[in-house]
Structure 1
Amino acid sequence: MKKQNSLTRVTRKVAFGVTAIIVLAGSTMLTSCKKEKAKPEVVAVEPPSKGKITEESYQSGTHNGFFWSLWKIDGATGTVNYANGAGGNYSVNWNGFNGNFTCGKGYSVGSPSYKIGYNLSTYSNSGGGTFGWYGWSRGPYYEYYVNETWGAVSPHTGTYLGTFESDGAGYNVWTRWMTGKNIDGGDGFRQIYSSRVTKVPTGQNRVITFANHYNKWQSLGYTLGQLNIPAIMVAETWGSNTNGNINCTIWAQP
């Protein structure tokens, strides 16, 4: 989960205060249950020489039919390298990072009916932050997460609303009011999130039936608004001098 003073990360495009380099590089990427050679699209975001970013950086696009995005907060320092692999695969690694970033692959609009298959082949995160299904709603403004695993610092704060079962796993539900900027730059929004009781293991095919979480939140009195905003399988971190490495593949589960 992002810190209290974080800003919009998904749809707001702003000028870069860093140089974004897009190149092609050979790599072995995981797609569905098989590994194959691919030439991923690599987005390397480097800090300027004085170690200070003057603007938020945000990049997004489409790749192999999926929406992808990479966001980095103003003032962050350190190195983040994001790569789109074959199909629904992406990877990200970071070193000596100070601040907050999110990235991932998914769809250009959210939906309560999405059923997401995924395989998290690699996960390492020395800071805070989460991995899971992520998006926003308008009217009302919600930032929502289905947390499958998280870093060394637990994201579980706010009001605990109970536990339920989905896709063979137990999830704790939490909510909290945030006084920072919402997706459109206005003041204030609510976070609602389901977090697995136990972190998901790496290297296994898993499913998130988002309707189960959407309906559970609604039954607790927290109904999401319009979901015409990107929704992604997010990799997020925040903290000081953090390091990590994540590789994930997603697909539409029948």
Structure 2
Amino acid sequence: MKKRKTLAEVTRKVAFATLATGFACSSMLTSCKKEAAPEVAAATTADLSKRKIAVQSYQSGTNNGYFWSLWKSDGATGTVNYANGPGGNYSVSWNGFNGNFTCGKGYSSGSASYKIGYNLGIYSNSGGGTFGWYGWSRSPYYEYYVNETWGTESPHTGTYLGTFTSDGAGYNVWTRWMSGKNIDGGDGFRQIYSSRVTKTSTGRNHVITFANHYNKWKSYGYTLGQLNIPAIMVSETWGTNTAGSINCTIWAQ
């Protein structure tokens, strides 16, 4: 993460929280359910963005019991194609894209106890951006990430807090204060994130035990607030004339 409006510019996020909160209150959405781990992921990939305050497009809904969302920044140009696949699968592909987009599949409400399995079948990203577990909390406002891999620009910036191990992988922990709008349109929020020391591999099953990250952040004095906001395995991209393809399947461990 650097001074661009990336892992935190809240325009897309205001839309994400506003619409997602409505979904979270709806009986349409289901919570995390246990599924068998698929052997390979398949489909196309997703998009969302966030660099400007006016939202050009935002979509969300449910698919196979999962919450999904796709956001693209105002004024963005180029092609982005998102598709929901079977079960917890989704894919996104883009070409000649200018701007930011974010998308993903997950659950209608976050939880500190989630243990997410995933298989990243394809990952190609010529721009900045990240792939990993993502969500928000209220009271206090936090935007959180568990970054599993990223594009050509590293998402690491802010104050380095330390390194720990979770699910067999090393993670560096970072935080920074953001002066932009939080998910409810107010001013300011904190960003907290764990980033793998070594990028995740494709075509293999992996696990994110979110409680390990939640508790590590808490040990540094950063405790997430209310988590009744959707949480997704996010694919996020920004830049000029970018191209890429992501295919991911998630399931509850």
Q: TM-score range by the shorter chain?
A: 0.7 to 0.9
Does the residue aligned with 1:11 lie in a helix, a strand or coil?
Answer: helix
Does the residue aligned with 2:93 lie in a helix, a strand or coil?
Answer: strand
**How far is 1:54 from its partner?**
6.6
**How far is 1:168 from its partner?**
0.2
Matched, 1:94 2:116: no
**How far is 1:72 from its partner?**
1.0
**How far is 1:43 from its partner?**
8.3
Farther off after superposition, 233-242 or 3-12: 3-12
Structure 1 residue aligned with 2:177:
177
The count of corresponding residues between Structure 1 and Structure 2 is 227
Farther off after superposition, 196-205 or 180-189: 180-189
**How far is 1:34 from its partner?**
5.0
What are the within-5 Å matches in structure 2 for residues 57-136 of structure 1? 57-136=57-136
Structure 2 residue aligned with 1:50:
none
Structure 1 residue aligned with 2:240:
240
**How far is 1:131 from its partner?**
0.2
**How far is 1:44 from its partner?**
9.2
- The 1:126–1:116 alpha-carbon spacing in structure 2 relative to 1, beyond 3 Å, is same
**Does the 8 A contact of 1:96 with 1:242 survive in 2?**
yes
**Does the 8 A contact of 1:149 with 1:199 survive in 2?**
yes
The structure with the larger Rg is 1
Structure 1 residue aligned with 2:12:
8
Report the AA paired with residue 245 of structure 1. S
**Does the 8 A contact of 1:148 with 1:195 survive in 2?**
yes
If asked which structure has higher relative contact order (CA below 8 Å, sep 6+), I would say 2
**How far is 1:7 from its partner?**
1.5
Report the AA paired with residue 215 of structure 2. N
**How far is 1:56 from its partner?**
3.0
Runs of 4+ in 1 over 6 A off after TM superposition: 42-45
Does the residue aligned with 2:217 lie in a helix, a strand or coil?
Answer: helix
More strand by share: 1
**Does the 8 A contact of 2:47 with 2:82 survive in 1?**
yes
Following the alignment from structure 1 to structure 2, what is the Cα–Cα distance between the partners of residues 61 and 125?
Answer: 25
Consecutive unaligned residues of structure 2, counting only runs of 5 or more, are 21-36
TM-score (norm 2): 0.84
Structure 1 residue aligned with 2:24:
none
Following the alignment from structure 2 to structure 1, what is the Cα–Cα distance between the partners of residues 46 and 119?
Answer: 22
Does the residue aligned with 2:11 lie in a helix, a strand or coil?
Answer: coil
- The 1:81–1:96 alpha-carbon spacing in structure 2 relative to 1, beyond 3 Å, is same
Consecutive unaligned residues of structure 1, counting only runs of 5 or more, are 15-30, 46-52
**How far is 1:79 from its partner?**
1.3
Following the alignment from structure 1 to structure 2, what is the Cα–Cα distance between the partners of residues 173 and 82?
Answer: 30
**How far is 1:150 from its partner?**
0.3
**Does the 8 A contact of 1:133 with 1:147 survive in 2?**
yes
Following the alignment from structure 1 to structure 2, what is the Cα–Cα distance between the partners of residues 245 and 227?
Answer: 30
Between the two proteins, what is the percent identity of the paired residues? 78
- The 1:43–1:216 alpha-carbon spacing in structure 2 relative to 1, beyond 3 Å, is closer
CA RMSD of aligned residues (A): 2.3
Render the CA deviation track for 1:164-218: whole Å, top value 9, x for unaligned. 0000000000001111111111111111000000000100000000000000000
Render the CA deviation track for 1:24-47: whole Å, top value 9, x for unaligned. xxxxxxx711578x8x9x9899xx
**Does the 8 A contact of 2:12 with 2:55 survive in 1?**
no
- The 1:201–1:223 alpha-carbon spacing in structure 2 relative to 1, beyond 3 Å, is same
More helix by share: 2
Report the AA paired with residue 215 of structure 1. N
**Does the 8 A contact of 1:6 with 1:73 survive in 2?**
no
Structure 2 residue aligned with 1:191:
191
- The 1:250–1:136 alpha-carbon spacing in structure 2 relative to 1, beyond 3 Å, is same
